[in-house]
A and B are shown apart, each in its own frame.
Chain A
Amino acid sequence: MSSTALSLPYSYKRTNRLFAIFARETRYEFVRAMRTKAFSLSVIGFPVMFYLLFGVMNRGEAVHGQIVAKYMLASYAAFGVVGASLFGIGVGLAGERSSGWLELKRASPMPPLAYLAAKCVSAMAFGLIIANILCLIGIFAAGVHISAFEYLAICAMSFIGGVPFACMGLLLAMLLPANSAPGIVNLIYLPMSYCSGLWMPFSLLPKWMQHAAPWLPTYHLAQLMLRLIGYAQPAEVVRHILALAGFAMLFLGCAWIAFARGEADA
């Protein structure tokens, strides 16, 4: 047997095994999150309930020519994926860190990236589920008209939009003690969502808040989401994408520093 004949199947096998680890880790992370009713019901339930209260109740209303129920369909989809990421990763990982579970996983031969990717993809999947439920409610209960393209675009954005907030969740998990994590995450999540126009049309927010909003990552996700249905503030798409990418890098960098500090003192 030649050396290439030996090495090729080996690296192929290795890649396969690595892929299998990622897939298994992700599947079980999602299954675990779904089975944890306290998590899955609240993370899916809150955006749905808010949409029913503020979107469906205001069906037919319009602000500055924008249909409120359609605006909120997009904004609560964003609210949903942000919540799934911040709670799923921020609170979930903070708990696993303090209980010692993360340490056990790190001491195993698990590729560290598989652990993070599984949590990230799981949160994104929750975003996708929430977007689908909201679209169904919007179409059938709030009389919202969206095209098939808009529907698919909202779902796609709800999936991909999870990435920067997964990074934010990672940072929060590194900084927050497990017992106070849920409270503090709420304290960040809810005001940040409000100030970014996720709960009511952005144009109804006080002017100073509108000026400050670009400093919030949720604002940029909201604007990208609203652009899909033609309701965004006038601005370059690229700006929002770059802003989200920048926030993601910043969160990831800070999370890495926090992790390295913790590791040195482990």
Chain B
Amino acid sequence: MNAVLEPMDLKSEEMQLPAKHAAASLHEVTKRYSNGVVALDRVSLQLRSGEIVALLGPNGAGKSTAVKLMMGLTAPTAGTARVFGGDPRFAGNRLRTGVMLQVGRAPEMLRVREHIEIMRGYYPRPLSFADIVRAAGLEGIEERMFGQLSGGQKQRVLFALALAGDPDLIFLDEPTVGLDIEARRRMWAEIRQLRSRGKTILLTTHYLEEADALADQIIVLNKGRVVCEGTPAEVRATAAAQQDSSERGNGQSLSTSVKLLSFQTKLSREQILNLAGVQGVDANGAVVIVTSTAPESTLRELLALDTDLHGLEVRSPALEDAFLTLTTK
């Protein structure tokens, strides 16, 4: 390892600088609106090059403010926003970014082809028209007026506009909202395709399933602060650990292997609660659902106590559960 990277050689100031390989970053950013609302409170985050990053949070968490700052649509009250090392507020620094925003109405009397041609024209080395049409699945509707398109088609045109310039960094704000399952899966495939071509993607989404399926890194925002970041598995584990420590109220070792066990049994609730690793017991009809931080031990004892136990399933807690734990404190 390079000596420069040794922690001892770094001054604290240098450590806070965004890493070289970050495509975009917010550094100690605070955004206060004129009505006094603090949308972001000393938030630092980085989009690592070549990764899909999902920004999650309930409404009002500061997601869209964070994205707007990185797109250069507004300036931070304090701190710095950087895109490829430059200020995103200069149009010239946006030549390597593409944007898909939730748009109420795009100009309706322009054809799909015209919309794409206009956007392509802004970039020095855009994708070819044919590649854009293929990537966004617009075959056959190139000559339609935007106003004549269905909701899903409009969404795909907006996606096409984000790709048009062949940008290195792509912001996707709720890209699959209003799409049916098939169209959503298709867009996911396209987004993964972009990553495989080395693009960096920031997406905000309400669909936790989407973040789970796509993201390399999830950043959970709540009330203007980053409450958690990491891989989907890490976010789930952190949430489980938090739930664990808040329920136990002590500093017990934080387990990262929380599992949900569901089965049918004749054991009583009290008996199950006394098993090793069990954090909670829920019932769903005849099915019992147990949260365990030591699933192997729990299972061993469980199977020994009840030889008639059946319908056993073991699964990881959904990201949704983790998300709720993190944001409803």
Binding site for B on A (CB under 8 A): 17, 20-21, 24-25, 28, 31-32, 35-36, 95-96, 98-101, 103-104, 106-112, 261, 263-266
Contacts and interface: CB of A to CB of B under 8 A. Distances in A.
Interface centre among B72, B104, B145 (most CB of A within 10 A): B104
Contacts of A261: 34
A35 B109 contact: yes
B104 to A, nearest CB: 4
B174 to A, nearest CB: 12
Given A25-B118, A106-B73, A265-B33, A101 B105 contact: yes
A107 B171 contact: yes
B104 A264 contact: no
A25 B72 CA distance: 22
A21 B109 contact: no
B103 A104 contact: yes
A171 B123 CA distance: 29
Interface in B92-120: 92, 94-95, 97-99, 101-110, 114, 117-119
B104 A99 contact: yes
Given A101-B107, A103-B101, A20 B121 contact: yes
Nearest to B88: A107
B124 A99 contact: no
Nearest to A21: B121
B241 to A, nearest CB: 37
Contacts, number: 88
Interface in B51-83: 68, 71-75
A266 B68 contact: yes
Given A107-B101, A264-B34, A101 B106 contact: yes
29 contacts: A17-B124, A28-B114, A28-B118, A32-B107, A35-B109, A36-B108, A98-B104, A99-B103, A99-B105, A100-B103, A101-B103, A101-B105, A101-B107, A104-B101, A104-B103, A104-B158, A104-B161, A107-B73, A107-B94, A108-B94, A109-B97, A109-B122, A110-B91, A112-B91, A261-B34, A264-B34, A265-B35, A266-B73, A266-B74
A102 to B, nearest CB: 10
Nearest to B67: A107
Given A265-B33, A266-B68, A110 B122 contact: yes
Contact of B101 (A17, A31, A35, A100): A100
Nearest to B110: A32
Interface centre among A20, A21, A28, A111 (most CB of B within 10 A): A28
A107 B73 CA distance: 6
A91 B99 CA distance: 25
A36 B145 CA distance: 11
A24 B105 contact: no
A67 B75 CA distance: 57
B91 A111 contact: yes
Interface centre among A31, A32, A95 (most CB of B within 10 A): A32
A25 B115 CA distance: 10
Nearest to B107: A32
B122 A100 contact: no
Nearest to A104: B101
Given A28-B114, A109-B123, A103 B34 contact: no
B102 A24 contact: no
Interface string B117-157: 11101111000000000000000000001000000000000
B105 A265 contact: no
A109 B94 contact: yes
B74 A263 contact: yes
B121 A107 contact: no
A265 B36 CA distance: 11
B95 to A, nearest CB: 5
A100 B104 contact: yes
Nearest to A113: B91
Contacts of A101: 103-107
B165 interface: yes
A55 to B, nearest CB: 31
A110 B34 CA distance: 28
B121 A263 contact: no
B253 to A, nearest CB: 45
Nearest to A92: B107
